Each structure stands twice: as structure tokens, then as C-alpha cells.
Amino acid sequence: MMNCWKTINFTKQYGSQRLFILSSLTMLATFILAYVPATYLFVPESFYDNYFIFFAAGLWFIYPLHKLLHYLPIAHLGKIIKKHITFRYGLMPVINIRITEPISKWLFLTATLAPTLVINSLLLAACFIYPHYVHYLIILFAYHAGISFSDMVCVKNVLTAPNHSYIEENEDGFEILLHTHQ
């Protein structure tokens, strides 16, 4: 038997428009705060603007990669994961992954933080490898920071939960559950 310790309803607590605005501001602030130090740290003789097509592909590919990295830590759960892919405007995939049964707090945090840690680390490492393209890489880094904003809101709410809690997702957000001893 489990009791609900806390319910997080994104629509009621934050609102989709507010989350979008905060995500956009996070993207802008990340670019501003990362670009200036990156240009001093990597100091190439000049920035190259060739291979723009790879940059554009990176902008399109980051979101599906982000979702895939959310999925990988929980892929072993099998049938309790619901996946749904639709295409918005005919081009942009919208991927919904939802867990239908409670999972441990630590597995939820791993699945939530995996894309941020992996993608941002790869983009920052690429800045060292390809300093002439640091401007493209920092834009991708900022874009991904904006995508990850809602994940960080989840993490902030879940980190305060007791260590042995479970997380159950629903249509509006998620619930933090605790075992009751009878």
C-alpha cells in the first residue's frame, strides 16, 4: 500500500506558457553566459561557417536524442512504459514516454538527468575538439539547456522526497508515493 506524499501538477503549479517562457529565458541566459567565456577559452583564429547543414541537423536531432536518453535508463521496464510518437507540422517529432506504474526515486532521477548530463557533456567536449565551430556548439548547448528546463523542475521537486519514495507519472505531472507500514 502506498500513500501520496506530494503531487506535482505542471499545468496548475507552473502553467505551460510560463514553462515555455522560462525555458526560452534559460536558453537565452545559457547562451549569453556560455558564449563569451567559450570564445576566450577556445580562441580559434576564426570561426568557420561551413557545415551549417550539420548545425541545422543538430538542432533537429537534439530533441529525439534527448527523449531517447530519457528512455534508455528505463527501457528494461518493458510493458509499463507507454511510447507515442506524432509529427508536428509534418517535420518535428513529438515523443511522449510515460511510465504507467511507480518507479523508484533514483531510477526516475537517473532517467530525468541522463539527457542533460550526456548531451551537454558531449557538446562541451566537442568545443575542445572543434574550436572553430564553438559558436555552433554553444548554440546547441543553449538550445538543449532550454529543452532540459522542465527536467530540472522535475528534479528540483523529486530531490526533496524521501530516499525510499516512488514516482508515478500521470497526464498532468507526477505523484511522489511512500510505502505505508501496516
The secondary structure of the chain as a DSSP string is: -EEEEEEEEHHHHT-HHHHHHHHHHHHHHHHHHHHHHHHHHH--SS-----HHHHHHHHHHHHHHHHHHHHGGGGGGGGGEEEEEEEETTTEEEEEEEESS-EEHHHHHHHHHHHHHHHHHHHHHHHHH-GGGHHHHHHHHHHHHHHTHHHHHHHHHHHTS-TT-EEEE-SSEEEEEEE---
- The cell numbers describing 83, all together, are 511510447
How far does CA 157 lie from the centroid of its chain? 15
Range of the domain at 97: 2-179
Mean pLDDT by 10 residues, the chain (182 residues): 86 88 96 90 78 92 93 90 80 81 94 97 93 93 96 93 90 86 64
Sign of the CA dihedral running 88, 90, 94, 100: positive
Q: What is the tally of structural domains in the chain?
A: 1
Q: CB-based contacts of 40: which residues, under 8 Å, 6+ apart?
A: none
- Torsion region of 89: left, alpha or beta (phi above 0 gives left; psi -120 to 50 gives alpha): left
